[in-house]
Amino acid sequence: MSDVLTTPKPRRNAELLLLVLALAVGIGANALAGLDQDQGLGGDFYVQTITLSVIAVAVHVALRLRAKYADPVMLPIVIALNGLGLAMIQRLDVAMDPPTTAAARQLMWTAIAAVVAIALIMLLKDHRVLRRFTYISLILSALLLVLPLLPGVGMELNGARIWVNLGFATFQPGEIAKITLAIFFAGYLSTNRDLILLAGKKIGPLQLPRWKDMGPMLAAWLVSIGVLIFQRDLGSAILFFGLFMAMIYVATSRISWVLIGLLMIAFGGFVAFQLFPHVTARIDGWLNAFDPEVYNAPGGSHQIVQGLFGLASGGLTGTGLGQGRPDLVTFANSDMIIAALGEELGLIGVSAIVMLYLLLISRGIRTALGTRDAFGKLLATGLSFTLALQCFVVIGGVTRLIPLTGLTTPFMAAGGSSLLANWLIVALLLLISDAARRPAPAAGLAGARPSGRPGRRRNSEQERMTAGAGEAEQR
């Protein structure tokens, strides 16, 4: 659909060069924090350095083997962000009394996430295979979202019922659900786009959709509202609905859908604000953060205001890694990690981090532009938008632009499920970008065979693909 040139060069060497820089950022942050805290470079430092380097090289080699044409800047950005997060978590561990061990767990989850990402890159030949699992991923998303609500398996932590106890660790299945939902929306919308576009009444400049086509929209709305009511997780509710809105807008380029969606979410949000005390408390803590009564209330604005004080004391250049007091903020290593980084790296450092996210997301959108198939386009858009929305909700919450909600900062915040999900998202984006930038194999063939006879099969792989797509349609 797009008329842009794709560069047919693998560019893996550029990636290697950037990886060295990214590792320097991650390891440098860790070393600086250790030195400034008078810890020296202990055993933890070497373990983290070696693990992070091995992960970077392993994913790089996997890309060289299986996805030669993948985007060269995504992996270095992810490694840099992951390394920065790890350094900050380690630094907060040391500052705690008694010292905590969140960094070791984070390192373990980083390794697990990277191994799963490598497995995905090695095993998944073509992202279009995922289209066959359109409806399976819908069922899977529903299961993942219901899992924390089941007695025995699910557990409640800090007021949100989004956790599953695996015995040795806890897991948030909702994090994986955002990927499966993106696959479902991409598959559904790429198949039914024309039907949705064709029908509907026209009122003024807006073309309204048919009631029949509103089904998935209502489903997405119900999922978000359900998450909000039963799991008390405002952040995920915003994320799921925002994901669907972005994808339907990209698929149809109809502004009417966005307007309808915004009205629906405004209505849902207003009712939630009236009915549920936890939503009311969040909004109150946002609007009247500096009111002493709200500040001192349990679950009040204490956390967000401490974060703001931290950011303020950081100023333009920050206090320097290991020299601030980010440990005074509750959940400094997960929800508020941006405030902790802002205190120690200052505005200059935080804008660099936001810029890294921006570059990562723009590469994801660029991948969507370059992809040749509609499913890949929608999936890449949806996945990049998930990352963008997470960043906006978290950083906006910490800086008191919007109410603070419980989403994680991608790749940086302590939390295994979020790390795993975001690494999977990047692995998928890398695979799609490989397909987008790879020179078209059919171009040479078509030139050699000017009057292509119908009935000739191009290759068995493609045949398998379309056979799969055919089955899905006959349903």
Partner 1 sequence: MSDLVVTALRFGFLILLWIMILGVVTAMRRDLVIGARSKTGAPSARQVRKHPELAAEQAPAPRVHARKLVVLEGPLAGTSLDLAASPILLGRAQEATLVLEDDYASGRHARLFPQGSRWFIEDLGSTNGTYLGDTQLTRALPVEPGVPIRIGKTVIELRP
**Residues of span 136-175 touching partner 1 by CB under 8 A:** none
Given 122, 155, 156, 463, the residue binding partner 1 (CB under 8 A): 463
DSSP 339: H
Q: Which of residues 169-208 bind partner 1 (CB under 8 A)?
A: 191, 194-195, 197-198
Residue 1 or 123 having the CB closest to partner 1: 1
- Decide: is 291 part of the binding site for partner 1 (CB under 8 A): no
Residues 36 and 250: their CA atoms lie apart, in Å, by 48
Alpha helices, DSSP H, located in 199-336 = 215-226, 234-252, 255-275, 277-287, 292-296, 302-314
**Segment near partner 1 (CB under 8 A); pick from 136-144, 224-232, 258-266, 463-471:** 463-471
Shortest Cβ 345–partner 1 spacing (Å):
7
Q: Which long-range contacts (CB under 8 A, 24 or more apart) does 281-284 make?
A: 282/234, 282/403, 282/404, 282/405, 283/403
Given 101, 158, 280, 466, the residue binding partner 1 (CB under 8 A): 466
Nearest C-alpha neighbor of 380 from the set 434, 327, 416, 303: 434
Q: Which of residues 344-403 bind partner 1 (CB under 8 A)?
A: 345-346, 348-349, 352-353, 355-356, 359, 363, 366, 372-374
Residues 101 and 412: their CA atoms lie apart, in Å, by 16
Q: Which of residues 306-325 bind partner 1 (CB under 8 A)?
A: 317-318, 320-321, 323
Token pair of 388, please?
A: 């963008």
Residue 283 or 359 having the CB closest to partner 1: 359
Residue 285 or 370 having the CB closest to partner 1: 370
CA distance from start to end of the chain: 28
- Decide: is 78 part of the binding site for partner 1 (CB under 8 A): no
Residue 51 or 323 having the CB closest to partner 1: 323
- Decide: is 126 part of the binding site for partner 1 (CB under 8 A): no
- Decide: is 442 part of the binding site for partner 1 (CB under 8 A): yes
**Segment near partner 1 (CB under 8 A); pick from 108-116, 300-308, 382-390, 445-453:** 445-453
Strands 160-165 and 202-203: unpaired
Given 44, 45, 62, 72, the residue binding partner 1 (CB under 8 A): 72
DSSP string for residues in 373-437 = SHHHHHHHHHHHHHHHHHHHHHHHHHTTSS----PPPTTTSS-HHHHHHHHHHHHHHHHHHHHHH
